[in-house]
A and B are shown apart, each in its own frame.
Chain A
Amino acid sequence: MPKRLASSLSDEVLEHVFSFIQSEKDRNVVSAVCKSWYEIERWCRRKIFVGNCYAVSPEMVIRRFPQVRSIELKGKPHFTDFNLVPDGWGGYVLPWITEMAGAYPWLDEIRLKRMVVTDESLELIAKSFKDFKVLVLASCEGFSTDGLAAIAASCKNLRELDLRESEVDDSSVHWLSHFPETYTSMVSLNISCLGSGEVSFSALERLVSRCPNLRSLKLNRAVPLDKTANILRLAPQLVEFSACTYSAELRSDVFSNLAGAFSNCKELRSLSGFWDVVPDYLPAIYSVCSRLTSLNLSYATILSPDLIKLVSHCPSLQRLLVLDYIEDSGLEALASNCKDLQELRVFPSDPFDAEPNASLTEQGLVAVSLGCPKLQSVLYFCRRMSNAALVTIAQNRPNLNRFRLCIIEPNTADYLTGEPFDVGFGAIVEHCKALIRLSLSGLLTDCVFEYIGKYAKKLEMLSVAFAGDSDLGLHHVLSGCESLRKLEIRDCPFGDKALLTNAAKLETMQSLWMSSCSVSFEACKLLSQKMPRLNVEVIDERGPPDSRPENCTVDKLYIYRSVAGPRFDMPPFVWTKDEDLALRLSP
């Protein structure tokens, strides 16, 4: 019966039906139904996401999916953001570009995160893909403005160029001028990471004025205030804007020019930048505030009274990023004014001072959890917390799906009771059943991991630091968290036992990072031998791990599943079980 049904629909009809299925997960399910569906699906899959560029090889991707138009790749582990991964670890995109240049002439979108991108890669992209439209380089490095010039010169249909948080070397080439005068397709441009020498204002203004579809523009820090107003006047259709170096003194002519420019922007929904802003200029944006859904003030040293005034003008706010200058009072104002708030991130203005720099405590977060019914995503840095507050937050907001708390000083206890935060985080995982991402901090015993293993069934990513008492903690997580994909751990007393007992679990996950823990090199070698589909990388700059005493623990460990086998581009400080030195990258 099912066989008849399957063959009664022609390939074209099935392909048409599949074209409505966009999500990767759904496509994967479709391809598993039967062989013919697998075949049809693989020929019509247009979009690929590879969460770990070493989990699969470009040849394998191309072999299975011959007609891809859009690819997203991620390279280095997340803890690279916190300088825990040494330079040169890997994540090179060139092998991928080289293969795709031949196989996917119609590729039009490349999105990369934490990868090493060279000018050679960018030149190859510019040369190989005739209809190239979207280039996103998030937290990437290894390229210069020369590479950008190649993209600008060749990609006449480029719609999106986003360099967010990448490191770009200045080769002194005026790359923006390489966009030909006939080029008018830019929709989204993010050059906020570039230094002052790397952008020519006149080229920028000419580019902006000839791109009528420009919706998102994120400029770098060095654009002065009068230029900012000019650019806004050239692009009143902007939806997202980031800029502004504010000068120190309020000049009424500059102010009114800026205010006028903003008032023209009826579509503006998202603002960021605000480096060096002086509060007296803030009223210049009041005309757009009522429509703003996203505000990033995490670079702005504005104090609480001015933040409160600003926030009270933004009732439609869904996303706020801000420094702890907002204080509890500011968060209370946020809670009363911004009922649509979905995401809140509060960063520390002075993380290295033992004394607090602003009056921000757990009370602010409790207020927002109570006042903002749509709050789903939290990233909060603070210096004190209580279990009572965490329990309240969990009960107020069971719809949280991302909860990242960083109590700045490691091993800080509940300031009211002196207890660890096991109960508090336990309440979070128990009440917030949709939680997919969690970061822990403060004093924590193995108990918190028992709660996490028991309740956090939807959890996909867990970050742990300075927590736990023994291997039991890690064991609870690995054996209990069914949906776990990424686990990153630093400075915890987790060792060989939990790892080896849960070896099979590791193959169901994308990756495990452990640094400054208690894992021995012997256990790593053993794990690697028994689990051929895991790449077990010991990252240790101190020298060969087996040259040290047997009970010496490895510095850093990165384990990830892969169908591509061991990689061939490992630097000298990455150690695997393979003694074959031919596999090493020669210095």
Chain B
Amino acid sequence: MADEAISRKLTADGDGTGDDRRFQLAYKMLLRIMGSPEGRTPEQVNRLIKQIELAEFSMRKQTMIYAMNEQQIDSYAALCTEIEEDLKRAQESISEAKKELHQAKQVRKNRQEYDLMAKMIEEQPSRSETNEKLMQVKQDLKEQGDRQKQLEGKLLERRNNLHAFGIILSQFNETLKDDIKVDKEIIMAAEDTSSIDGDDMDEA
């Protein structure tokens, strides 16, 4: 019972500024004034009024403090939500930046590989140069081929000529041989007749 009374008193005491005691005092004063209608003095009444005024003042002060606290809570809640949103935005921008970083790294790697390949390619002669060389070489090849054909033709012709000449020569040779043979026969026939004549001449 006493605990209940104490707890009730403590909860009712609020700020602990002694308002409860003031109320008790005012109540007691009021009772005293009511109890002795003759011995009422203005000081007592004044004292009572003063106590009541003080209590009212304290009450007004408490309401103001309460209003102020409510306002503080509201403003802090607003601040809290603002900070949360900022945090979220910052996290999003961090993840975006990470993605960009990853992409940029990939780009850098590609660029480096490209540079390496470009260097390798630079060392080779350019395509137009090689094409020109190819054309040149093809032209040369064609020219040489033509010349070869030409020479071959000439060679064939000369060979044919030589062959024909050879045949003519051999025929001529034959003819000459025949002539010589015929001549020899004539000479031999002439010798025969002259030898017969000669024998005749020797005998005569």
**A and B pair up:** no
Residue positions of B touching A, CB distance < 8 A: none
Binding site for B on A (CB under 8 A): none
